[in-house]
Structure 1
């Protein structure tokens, strides 16, 4: 147990620890308590060893030449409508605006100005019995003050470029365990990150509490237990588990006939018109057809119960009927739902989906790999992909049964399924595997010497080539000796000191020691670590460490070559997923469930595929030497998709589950972020498109012109409640209120320019009732299809006739887009909020990128080659 919860400082090794009260333990490298005695490093000895020193960790706001100043033109508005009540003499509500400085330099000033903004936005001020401003006058003032408040927030949160000490976030911790042990710990066993609106790399939001230390100890031990199970599997002969589904169906049919009175028995084969229909299907004696809701819905896979943790190959031989639509050419792998009467459902979401490309009787083999962990269920099922909610398909089934008597037409025919593994050949050994192989049982007759060697070598790897002190290793060896007396087994006892290493600050923190106020350049080793966690979210590999040891990594030419190498590595996907997901606020993609009857093709598989399309499009540009310009994220003549997304977009000839570049027709609305389904899904509520969300997202992430937060207590236009209006008509009426007009006149035109995309990101030419739910359809009784009007004009900018012209206008704003991307890149890469002190760095990166025609990779080179990235 930990000594104290939330107070004091905790000793886990040789580095500084920040606890939840933002205090710091600076333990140096002596590994001694204040009394000078060596510390024991098991869980019961994580103790307080110092006193609070808040001054040593206080963050400076720094200085900035940037100012938050409300333009003087707004004084007349305040004089005419506010100061008659809120001057130094009257101070109604104890508010004096007469002495309030237009230059906002303090939090207190900013809070009062925000109160002014909120009061006018809500309509509370001026009071109804006072003189009222004209609508345009009020809207202009609100816009000016809103923009000033955005500037004030930036100025007052400026960190002055200081990089806060940073621990590994959840992604990095998971990847670091994987790099050390070859174990990808399930997310539910990972300590959570702190809540923050910043990137998850920002150190200030990644505090370390006493309870979190306990979590790290448990997580590290769990990962080690799984490692030893996987290591033991190296001596297990791989097995092949094969399923012939037609044989399973035959047996199920025979069992069903014997026990047909048992209502709980699943009717796998089925009877009546369904059974008659199935019996007529070709090749049903050589394979099985997957049915959506009745009959052979699931194929169960139950490999050996002793299936050890590791990597397994899944192979599926199958085909699809020529008549079936392309979106029904996919299967999904998952775990069967337990304890329910409906036997067609999965336990949670699918593990993955697979594209089936053969024909019945002429199967093609689709292959993938799955990782099985210590806690992974050993029973699997295959089914045709379908909506998560079974009831949505049931409604479609009823219509189909009324039409043909048996239900859905079959689409997928399965010949056989195999699971092979665990795969050990050609698999690179983890660092801990290599250490244990080097210090094997026969390497020395002294088991304590062997344990010490293992502890020391593992500590070096875990601390990212930082040498542990002799006292640190000795203390861990003492823990091993005590544990060995309890466990009687070397391989079990050694896990405790190893797990403590995995909970030590040297592992959890990216250790870059320095003194307050004295910036310094990073050492080559520190630079290797920072670069690796930037581009891979994981520890440096042997090549980076080798270059660092030879002191060659800081050479600009070598550093550039390493960046090029690293972005081509599969681990660069961690960079794309980590940066892009947060930069584009993609967490909204998971907020809403879609009705499987209304949006038949948008299921959990599509959601994941659309998310991956965004990441893969970014990676393609990052790695491309010909089309790698950043503005291809705004508009392009291609997409980067797999078969599922190609089917979703109506693109033919794309097979397989891997992502690749696919050229588009000249009139395609796809190509670039504004054509991607994921972006439009985020701009909906799962039922209807939301022009306001979409317009605000474009302003925030594409044009780098974020609108201010929505005002509180926005008045509703009750006179329109009973009227059948289009979204455009309703939002135009909404702008009758000045506090709404100040924002919506910028947001709404962009949002309506994307109205050709429905809630699920499908292209439409007209509004219909097809995608309306029952309540909305009833409310809009008598509604007739109406052509989508996507015309408009950018605020104080050019007009556009449709989505295609809007996309053209937006793609011309590549400098604004690049500016926003650079700011996100700096915050993500330097692990602290973007500051006004970074403006010079931004200008340098922008200038360099312009010279290279905005090649995406040059933005990465720009930050990596910068003094800021290479300094502490």
Structure 2
């Protein structure tokens, strides 16, 4: 494979002869060590060693000294690269004599056979996949499903998993340490106590209405001594108009006659996850599903111009320089009906964290919106006008501007009340976890002197619920102290008998295979040891159960070499499609030996894909394949991109678009080419605004058909992907290009040589990244990889760090005036527009493109390439092992089976579970 340099010329024939002689002298080192046929020495000598011998070593490769050793993965890896580059036509390079087609085909066939046979021989003992443990998400889901505690927060208690082959499913990345086992035990104990607490705390479904005027955190309309600014205040509203007397304290905060019409208004959003305005008069009495009804509407608040002088620095002769800032403050005593709709984010707050749980839309007319949400015990509800600005200003610092304020006023919203109904899932099924732990044994209060199991049982101080005017009145609710704990014991008249009976039943369900008698005795001995020490029946059983849930039978994925038996197949299928353990239907089929039948396996996979639990596949797969889990690893620069700072609704919408898009490909068996280019996506109002797509408003997501020439469509131009491939300050076509070629096209490129420095974009705007890379690509060791990576990276330069379209870069400079405007944080822009973006390029085969639209059309032409990568990624995820050279034939069989549907995604998944890659260890 000759990288011939200028003037290299006729010397090649001499080098070929020398290379052949060296091969002979070295005793044929390109022959497989075990005597099997290896690479064709004559082909290598005629077409490769002229540039890849000991003297020339182009690409640091010396084929004259390279043995093909069957058991040596390092040498095999080099020969795989040789095979792939010859097959792709990259070697010999352009300008060199092309090999005879028949001879080249024979060379590739022989080399492929040697590589595959050596790999299979190496894997014959243990199999493709080595034994691994459950990862964090799998362990959490398995506990949730086993114990009936879908709300249990387990994954966050466990150490971060390692990553190999892009996923956290491989044994080589999932280490097992003392810390890991200790965390498994802690998490199991927590989950079981959650199930026991749910048995105790099963409040009946109830409905409670909370009025905004009763909430102290919402009724902060009088400026405090610390100088809280009017933009940050709430204010009383009645029928879309202000109540100056109420705000001034001349009238009561609420009146029984107008109670349902009263509201509290705001013109800004909550700026902190930890604080803000919550409905603290009610806390979820138990974990579960609740129905929320939220009443409110949008308003328009009058404003007035205010001018202030601000010190800017020292000028000539150290004279102070000031500038005047004119902005508009809200007049909270002059309110009118709204002029636009507003999205209202809904959050749950508790345990020191705030998490988004939904959203509703307010309109100028008062409406009641309804959503269902999942809450943890003790959580409170927060509502927030998420599109309004989120200033970080504190105290009397007034050097900021509401970017939505105009001379005529600014938008806001007014919330009247929320109503909570639930828990909705308080029926018999809610107690399944306790039944699996203790059957029908009673759980009773325990005397502290006797010990027992400590459980959360309710509020520390239930107290009265807030009444009219904020006064506390009778009613249910959790106190501010959060849940309190008490001791309980499980009553048993025959402890030893009950312990063995319950342990046998629990082990049968927890383990995904038949339980051995020795295992029962081992855990029963642990129970007896704890009971002898006076731990009591409940705690002794929890100790034994904890050991079960941290034991290899539960934590490890147990598979024997060769064909998977039905139970192991059930586990592999469940971990693939549900990221959890098998359910009763899979277990039953496996126990009867019927699951392995192709038609049964396919039917079960279809059932599982149609189940809501398949959302776990969507989330786990996209978290790692597309790196969505890294969405918060970087934050937009407050200097260059403060228009994105604190814009959580945009970030959350970006993630949801990608997940809904992938789920739609899976549900509808849509062609794989949609990954690169599609005529639809999923949008809500915030994301549609970001993309510049008209006709979409509100918080709800919907499938949107894209215009023919849209920049969007496919995964590459989704905001989530564009964010995780940028650093928050700049973008790099190298990073994005490498990510696209590897994750979307399946073309691997090696890391750069250690001596080559990374190219850092110039945020001063003097040169573009393309200009810097042009010089970088003249380095021979860099050029071959950059020819593949850079083209898609250049096309994506039309998108900034959050995926917004741009035709010019942003830069910072003290010599150039910044762009006029203000970010969502209320601070003025600090960037100026720099050099134009050039998104044109050419693929390695020479086909040119002008922009991302044309690039997508070129890439989408090779449907099989895109489908091959999907099949490889899904196979690695499903089996916990990389797709090796010897697996390529099976991948092609999957593609052949789905070619008729243009490689539909659902079809690919259903084809994967039928091939030996999936059905064998």
Match of 1:502 among 517, 524, 549: 549
Q: How does 1:343-382 map to 2 (within 5 A)?
A: 350-352=354-356, 354-372=358-376, 378-379=379-380, 381-382=382-383
Q: CA deviation at 1:601?
A: 7.4
Aligned match of 1:35: none
Give 3-state SS (helix, strand or coil) of 1:329's partner: strand
Alignment correspondent of 1:176: 142
1:613 aligns with 2:657: yes
* SS of corresponding position for 1:369: strand
Deviations 1:87-135 (A, max 9, x none): xxxxxxxx99696328687869769999xx9xxxxxxxxxxxxxxxxx9
Look up the match of 2:251: none
SS across alignment from 1:590: coil
1:333 aligns with 2:347: yes
Q: Which residue of 1 aligns with 2:425?
A: 424
**Which of 603, 617, 637 pairs up with 2:679?**
637
Offset of residue 504 of structure 1: 1.5
- Cα 1:644/1:490, change in 2 over 3 Å: farther
Residue 850 of structure 1 and its aligned partner are, at CA, apart by: 0.9
Residue deviations 1:484-519, cap 9 Å, x none? 46667544442221211111111111223x3xxxx4
Matched, 1:737 2:779: yes
Structure 1 partner of 2:501:
453
Q: In 1, Cα distance between the equivalents of 2:846 and 2:817?
A: 39
Deviation at 1:669, TM superposition (A): 1.4
Q: Hey, what does 1:827 align to over in structure 2?
A: 876
* Displacement of 1:162: 2.4
- Shift in CA distance, 66/215, structure 1 to aligned 2, threshold 3 Å: farther
Give 1:569 shift.
Answer: 0.8
Instruction: State how many pairs are aligned.
Output: 741
Matches of 1:501 and 1:782 in 2, distance apart? 58
Contact 2:788 2:843 in 1 (8 A): yes
Question: SS in structure 2 opposite 1:356?
Answer: strand
Instruction: Select between 686-695 and 637-646 the one with higher mean Cα deviation.
Output: 637-646
Structure-1 separation of matches of 2:37 and 2:880: 22
The separation in 2 between residues aligned to 1:633 and 1:213, in whole angstroms, is 39
Match for residue 298 of structure 1 among 252, 255, 276:
276
Taking the aligned partners of 1:378 and 1:598, their CA distance within structure 2 comes to 31
Aligned pair partner of 2:736 in 694, 715, 721: 694
| CA deviation string 1:834-857 (max 9, x = no partner) | 222211211211111113321111
Q: Which residue of 1 aligns with 2:647?
A: 603
Query: 1:767 and 2:816 equivalent?
Result: no
Residue in structure 2 matched with residue 679 of structure 1 by the alignment = 721
Contact 2:677 2:715 in 1 (8 A): yes
Would the alpha carbon gap of residues 104 and 136 (structure 1) be closer, same or farther in structure 2, given more than 3 Å must change? farther
TM superposition shift of 1:751: 1.5
The 5-angstrom pairing of residues 435-584 of structure 1 reads 435=436, 438-441=439-442, 445-464=493-512, 466-484=513-531, 490-512=537-559, 514=560, 519-584=561-626
Cα displacement string for residues 8-63 of structure 1 (whole angstroms, at most 9, x for unaligned residues): xxxxxxxxxxxxxxxxxxxxxxxxxxxxxxxxxxxxxxxxxxxxxxxxxxxxx999
* Structure 2: distance between partners of 1:175 and 1:613: 24
- Tell whether the 8 Å contact from 1:230 to 1:310 is kept in structure 2 after alignment: no
8 Å Cα contact 1:400/1:407 also seen in 2: no
Greater per-residue strand proportion: 2
Q: CA deviation at 1:480?
A: 3.2
How much has 1:439 moved relative to structure 2? 3.3
- Take 1:395 and 1:682, find their aligned partners in 2: how far apart are those partners? 37
Q: Distance in 2 between matches of 1:263 and 1:405?
A: 23
Match of 2:634 in 1: 592
Question: Could you list the runs of 5+ residues in structure 1 that have no partner in the other structure?
Answer: 1-60, 87-94, 118-134, 139-150, 338-346
Change (3 A) 1:851 1:666: closer
Give per-residue Cα distances to partners, 1:301-345, cap 9 Å, x unaligned: 2255783444444443333458989896242525489xxxxxxxx
2:215 aligned counterpart, secondary structure:
helix
Deviations 1:782-833 (A, max 9, x none): 9766654322211123111222111100111221111222222222212222
Cα separation, 2, equivalents of 1:775 and 1:208:
53
CA distance in 2, matches of 1:223, 1:782: 50
CA deviation profile, 1:248-303 (whole Å, cap 9, x unmatched): 3699458x58xx5577999974799xxx9965899996212233269999322225
8 A contact 2:764–2:812 mirrored in 1: no
Q: Kindly report the root-mean-square deviation, in angstroms, between the aligned alpha carbons of the 2 structures.
A: 4.9
The equivalent of 1:100 in structure 2 is: 65
In structure 2, relative to structure 1, the CA distance for the partners of 1:204 and 1:433 (3 Å cut) is same
Report what 1:383 is aligned to: 384
Q: Partners of 1:394 and 1:816 in 2: how far apart?
A: 58
Cross-structure match for 1:318: 296
In the TM superposition, residue 544 of structure 1 has moved relative to its aligned partner by 1.6
CA change 1:727–1:188 in 2 (3 A) is same
| Secondary structure of the structure 2 residue equivalent to 1:670 | coil
CA–CA distance in structure 2, aligned partners of residues 62 and 699 of structure 1: 36
Q: Tell me how far apart the structure 1 counterparts of residues 34 and 424 of structure 2 sit (CA, whole Å).
A: 54
Summarize the Cα distance change of 1:394–1:307 in structure 2 as closer, same or farther, 3 Å threshold. Answer: same
How big is each residue's C-alpha offset from its partner over 1:222-262, in whole Å with a ceiling of 9 and x where there is no partner? 1111221122112x3445454322343699458x58xx557
Structure 1 pair 113/674, CA: closer, same or farther in 2 (3 Å)? closer
From the superposition, tell whether residues 187 and 302 of structure 1 become closer, same or farther in structure 2 (CA, over 3 Å). Answer: farther
The one of the two structures with greater contact order (alpha-carbon pairs below 8 A, sep at least 6) is: 1
Question: How big is the shift at 1:583?
Answer: 2.3
SS at match of 2:918: coil
Cα-to-partner distance string for 1:399-453 (whole Å, 9 max, x where unaligned): 5369969999343322212344444335734653343574334998534323322
Return the alpha-carbon distance in structure 2 between the equivalents of residues 308 and 453 of structure 1.
Answer: 30
* Alpha-carbon spacing, 1:550–1:774, altered in 2? closer, same or farther (3 Å): farther
Change (3 A) 1:542 1:846: same
Distance 2:35 2:401 in 1: 69
Q: Which moved more, 1:167-176 or 1:685-694?
A: 685-694
Q: Alpha-carbon deviation of 1:170?
A: 0.8
Q: 1:253 to 1:216 in 2, by over 3 A?
A: closer
Secondary structure, in 3 states, of the residue corresponding to 2:196?
helix
1:127 is aligned to: none
Distance of 2:159 and 2:723 partners within structure 1: 30
Q: Within 1, Cα distance between the matches of 2:893 and 2:271?
A: 64
Conserved in 2, the CA contact under 8 Å of 1:314 and 1:368? Answer: yes
1:336 and 1:406 mapped to 2: Cα distance? 40
1:411 aligns with 2:376: no
Q: What runs of 5+ residues in structure 2 fail to find an aligned partner?
A: 1-32, 83-92, 97-111, 248-257, 301-336, 444-490, 820-829
Distance 1:360 1:548, change over 3 A: same
Deviations 1:370-408 (A, max 9, x none): 3316xxx64553333379985499999845369969999
Taking the aligned partners of 1:573 and 1:797, their CA distance within structure 2 comes to 41
Distance 1:222 1:782 in 2: 49
**1:812 paired residue among 861, 867, 877:** 861
Partner of 1:244: 211
Q: Distance in 2 between matches of 1:670 and 1:211?
A: 45
Partners of 1:112 and 1:424 in 2: how far apart?
A: 55
